[in-house]
Every structure is written in structure tokens, then in C-alpha cells.
Structure 1
Amino acid sequence: MELGLHIADFTWNGGPAALGPALARHAREAEAAGISRITVMDHFWQLGGDTGLGPFEHDMLEAYTTLGFLAAATERVRLHTLVTGVTYREPALVAKQISTLDVLSGGRAGLGIGAAWAADESAGLGFGFPATRERFERLEEAVRICLQMWSDSEEPFVGDHYRLERTLNVPQALQRPHPYLLIGGSGEKRTLRLVAQYADACNINASPESGHKLDVLRAHCDAVGRDYDEIEKTTMFGIDPDTTVADVVRTATAQRELGFTTAYVFARRIPEPGRIVDVVGAAAAALA
């Protein structure tokens, strides 16, 4: 089981003035500890509600600016969002951002994408937030646009929601045939079908339903003629100030037994980033 570091909380000791140096140090220490992936949320406010990550007003950094910063601070880790909301940016911009990040990071960029869900954030900042059906339609078209822009094709793209006259994208990503593509979410009818059709990886929150979700994904793969084993199965779970290395190993092991091969670990209410790396890095070494 491979562990990734998902940075979901930026409310750290020292406040915004210390955040840049602290984030760079956090990423370097994670890489040195053997963590092979670093991801960030694609949100503009903290999540609020019962997530345990704090209220909307807590610190949150814009995802793609942050990934560019992390690319400059690291050498080996894969970098992507977990996950980009399809309603936040035009798909062609996302494709360009990922290929740019891939070139500048030496081939380490990925795209994590989903149908978006944060209605409060979208309303607050003026992002469109159409009905669920339309968001999933847009998600599929966005994935198709990204794959087309990461190919040699410059042909137009005409969909129900997006129309591009020329899908030119230069320079292309270093990864071939295209950057790593993860579709996040556990919806059984739409999300996991899209994973089976298009994605290199899924991401499903660790829960009692996780194993069932993989069974659903396998059925979608059978339906579309996709090899289930080609898709990387990733999961995600959180740690708190009292979480031990043994706790992380136990949770990750349980998910591995269900069929997941990678787990992204995020921290809640831990204001000292070094403590996060101590726990996740030691667990990664134990699981390697």
C-alpha cells in the first residue's frame, strides 16, 4: 500500500506570513520521508460543516498556484488535485494547466477531476453550479476535451456544453500518452462509469462501503470492455492530533485488503506540519 499526502488544511502555526516557507518545507520533508504523491483540494474556502477541517473562514490556497509552487519545491513526487471541480474552470484551461505543470515539473503532473459539489462556495464566489445531471455531462465532456488536447489532434470539439474550434496545446505534456487522470467520487451510476470509460485511477473515500464501490466499478469495466486491473484504486482518509502511526497502518491495511493500492492521508486540526509528516512518513515506511 502506497501512501500519499493530501494537504487539506493550511491553518498552521505562524499564519499566512509563514505559510510559503512552511509549505515548501512540508513538501520537501514529505518527499524525504518516502511519500511519493502530494495532492491539494481544489476549493477556495475551507470545507466547513462536519468535515472536521474547520469553518469556511479558515485558510485555503488556490489549487493550481499551489501545485506550481510545490513543483518548484520538490523533485520526485506526483502532483495533482484531489479533485478539481468541473464547474470552476473551462476544460481547455484545465488541460493547459496540467500540461504546463507536467512540463515544468519534469513529468510529475496529474489531473484529479470530479463533478463538483460545494454549492455554498460556488454561490458565494459566483461560480456556476448547474443541476447534478448537467454537472456530470460537463464532467464527461471536460475529460474528453483534456484527452483530446493531450493528443496530437487539433480538431474541433463540439459537445452539448463546450465548443472548441481548435484544440491546439503546445507544448504537450512530457508524460505519454497523457498525464495521469483520476476521476474522484463514488457515485455508482455516473462517476464510476466514467472511471471505467476514461480514467487511469479512481478515488473513493475509505468507508464501510468502499469494497462494494470497487465491485460496482468492476461491473462498469465489464460493461464497457475495460480491464479492471488497468485502473489504479485509490482511497482517502483523515488523521487527527491523537492518530498514531499504528492507526494509519491499520486503516490503510484494511483498505488494501479490499483492493485499494494507494491511500491519500489528510490531517485535521494539526497546526504543525512536521507532526503530519512524522506520522504519515513512518506509516508509509511500515507499509512499503
Structure 2
Amino acid sequence: MRLGLHLNDYTHLGGPTGTGPTLARIARTAEAVGFARLSVTDHLWQVSQTGEEDEPMLEAYSTLSFLAGHTSTIELQTLVTAATYRAPGMLAKIVTTLDVLSGGRAWLGIGTGWNEQEATGLGLPYDGHDGRYERLEETLRICLQMWSGSDAPFEGEHYRLGSTLNVPQTVSSPRVLVGGGGELRTLKLVAKYADAMNVWGGPDAGQKIARLRERCAEVGRDHMEIEKTALFPLDAEGPQGVDGLLRELRRLHDLGFSTVYGAVPDISSAAQLDVIGSKVIPEISRW
């Protein structure tokens, strides 16, 4: 099993002048102690599950590009990009650029998006439920076409591209992770297009894997080709301590998840990262 460090809270990092150096140190520490991946949330305002909307939030791909320059091996991605926030051709180019400049470490993490207040507040495109799923699928198709080397036009219901030229090409075609809890449409898109799925690692996480198997059978794909990942807090110093975190990670492993992404409390301090690196990662790497 592998761990991904998820960054979703930029408060207490030293304000505008201290945020960059602190994030660089966090990323270097995460890489050094054995985290396999580093993900950032793709929001422009803070979400209510984490804090108040007027708390600090950084644009995701600018942040990933900055962190790429301070690391050398850790894989980089959003968890997850709202498909409507960037035009698909531009999104493919952004991820391509991250992949080239990081030496092949970029993933495309993507979903439908859900924060209508944030999108409309900043004048970003947003659509109804069906429209967002349709746009997500077309975005996946466009990105994969651009990374295939084809410069053919693309004609969809929502997007029309005269050419999908993409130069330079990626170092290694970015792997695609589709995130979201929908058991029908979301997991159908995972089965058709993705290398990995991401769901919340709560009590119904195992059900999501069962539904993914069904969606894969419907499209004729082996579900074992798809990495199962979960999002779950990585708190080694909470009430349950290291043992409690290991129990939760073991539960997810036994359900079939091979990677867990999670936010670490008090991330501005290296203490929790050091504990996870010394007491958790060595244990789960044997599973």
C-alpha cells in the first residue's frame, strides 16, 4: 500500500510571504519520508468541510508546478480538478507542461465538480448535473486524444477543437484518476477511461469497488487494470494514535485499495510527517 499526502488547507503557513517556503519544505519532507504522491485540492475558495470560504486557497496547477521544482520523485496531481473550470484543450496542455517540467510525474485527477457557489462567484463555467457529466466525458476524451499524439479535430456535444496538436508531448502519458462517489455515471467513466478511481474511504468504500466491477463488466474491461484509491485523514497523533491509523489503513487495504490519500493535521510542522514516515509507511509497504 502507498500513501499520498493531500494538501487542502493553507492556513497557518506563514501568510503570503511564508506560504511558499513552508509548502516547499512540506513537499520535500513528504518525499523524503516515503509518500508516493502529493495531491492538492482544486478549489479557489476554501470549502465548508475544511474551513471558512475566506480562508487562504491557492490555485492548484500553479501550486503543483511550484512543488515540482522542489521535489524529484513524488508524483503530482489534483484531487480532483473540476472539469468545467478549464477548457479541455488548455487543461491537457497544463497537465502536459507539469509532466514535462517534473520529468514525467504528473497525473490528471478529475471529476465533475460540485461547488456552484465558487464557480459562479468567480465567473467560471458551471452546468447542471447531466451537463457536467457530459463535459467530464468529453474532457477525458480530449485529453487522451491530445496525449495520444493525434492532432485530429474533436467534435463533441459541448466542445469542438479544430486540432488537438500537443507539442511537446508528455514524458510519460499522464495517468488518469477519476474521483467522485457516483456509482453509476462516475464509475462508468472510470471503467471507460481511467487508470485509477478515488472515493471517500468511509464505511461504504468497499461497495464502490463492487460497483466498479459491475461497471467494468458492462464495458468489457478487467477491473484489475484500475487502481483503487481512497481519501481518508492521515492523523497519527489523534485519539487512536498510530495503531488506530494503521487499523483504518488495513481495513482499506483488505477492501482492495492500494493507495490512500489524506490530509495531515498541523501540516506546517514536520512532526506528523516524520511519525508517518517512521511508523506507518514502513508497515503498510509490506502489505
Q: TM-score scaled by structure 1? A: 0.95
- Matched with 1:201 is 196
User: Over the residues paired in the alignment, what is the CA RMSD in angstroms?
Assistant: 1.3
For 1:119 and 1:276, the matched residues in 2 are separated by: 34
Q: Using the alignment, how far apart are the partners of 1:272 and 1:10 within structure 2?
A: 9
Q: Contact 2:13 / 2:22 at 8 angstroms: preserved in 1?
A: no
CA displacement 1:11-32 (0-9 Å, x = unmatched)? 1242222110000000001100
Q: Following the alignment from structure 1 to structure 2, what is the Cα–Cα distance between the partners of residues 26 and 15?
A: 15
In the alignment, which residue of structure 1 is the partner of 2:35? 35
Task: Number of aligned residue pairs: give it.
Answer: 282
**Equivalent in the alignment of 1:121:** 118
Aligned residues: percent identity?
A: 50
Give the secondary structure class of the aligned counterpart of 1:238: coil
Counterparts of 2:64 and 2:267 in 1: how far apart (Å)? 21
Q: CA deviation at 1:213?
A: 0.8
Aligned residue identity for 1:22: T
Q: Does 1:79 align with 2:76?
A: yes
Give yes or no for the alignment of 1:223 onto 2:218: yes
Q: What is the 5 A alignment of 1:41-56? A: 41-48=41-48, 51=49, 53-56=50-53
Alignment counterpart, residue 109 of structure 1, candidates 106, 115, 127? 106
- Taking the aligned partners of 1:173 and 1:239, their CA distance within structure 2 comes to 32
Structure 2 CA distance for aligned equivalents of residues 279 and 224 of structure 1: 43
* Residue matched to 1:277: 273
Which residue, out of 148, 152, 157, partners 1:151? 148
Inter-partner Cα distance in structure 2 for 1:32 and 1:109: 18
2:193 is the counterpart of 1:214 = no
Asked if 1 retains the 8 angstrom alpha-carbon contact of 2:26 and 2:267, the reply is: no
CA distance in 1: counterparts of 2:271 and 2:56, whole angstroms: 19
Unpaired segments of 5 or more residues in structure 2?
none
Between the aligned partners of 2:270 and 2:3, the Cα distance in structure 1 is 16
Cα 1:87–1:273 change in 2 (3 A) is: farther
Residues 141/22 of structure 1: CA separation in 2 closer, same or farther (3 Å cut): same
TM-score, structure 2 as length reference: 0.95
1:87 counterpart SS class: helix
Distance 1:229 1:122, change over 3 A: same
Q: Which runs of 5+ in 1 are unaligned?
A: none
Separation in 1 of the partners of 2:274 and 2:187?
34
Shift of 1:248: 2.0
